[in-house]
Amino acid sequence: TTHATERYLLDEMPELERFQFEEHYFSCAECAEAIRLGGLMREGVAQGLVAEEGARNTEHGTRSAEHGTRNTE
């Protein structure tokens, strides 16, 4: 089964359960830390994906320049 913090971060909780969990994690250091770390992980993954996409676009532009074509993407 998925843990409550994971379900919360993945927005898999119905609204009432989400409100109840929020009340809980504001007073539970362990859950608050899990939410904080999960949020940081999600941001890191998103930044990594953006950086990876930028690297691919740069690489594609370099290849296009080597072949005398323009990158129109």
CB under 8 Å to 4, separation ≥6 — which residues?
Answer: 13, 21, 31
| Structure-token pair, residue 34 | 């899990």
Whole-angstrom Cα distance, residue 33 to residue 5? Answer: 10
Range 13-41 average pLDDT? 92
Winning range, highest mean pLDDT, from 18-22, 42-46, 63-67:
18-22
Q: Which residue has the higher pLDDT, 34 or 62?
A: 34
Whole-angstrom Cα distance, residue 2 to residue 8? Answer: 10
pLDDT of residue 68: 53
Q: Which residue has the higher pLDDT, 58 or 68?
A: 58
